Amino acid sequence: MGFLDQLKAKLAPAKDKVSDLAQQHGDKIDQGLDKAAKVVDEKTKGKYSDKIQTGTGKAKDAVDRLAGTDEGKDTGGGTPPPPSSPAP
């Protein structure tokens, strides 16, 4: 067994634990992310609001993925509908 395989085997229980914690406390994590984003936005006087909002959204998506719940959110990974052809 290679080094990476051994490492994955040892980290698997930790990943399961993190997943369980994300499921149990996802709402608290989201609230903490919002609170931190608000503080940072205030400290930077709104200069980086768009970047802060983007980062917060990505962090929340990561927590949802860890928890295994995407809650039906559109993550943009779907196939777009085919273009409609003009009527003859």
Instruction: With a cut of 70, say whether residue 83 has pLDDT above it.
Output: no
User: Of 75, 79, 44, 42, whose CA–CA distance to 60 is shortest?
Assistant: 75
SS3 of residue 70 by DSSP: coil
pTM score, whole prediction: 0.61
Report the length, in residues, of the chain. 88
Quote the DSSP letter at residue 75: -
Per-residue pLDDT reduced to its tens digit, 37-75: 999 999 999 999 999 999 999 999 989 888 887 654 544
For residues 44 and 74, give the distance between their C-alpha atoms in angstroms, rounded to a whole number.
30
Residue 15 has phi, psi (to 5 degrees) of -65, -40
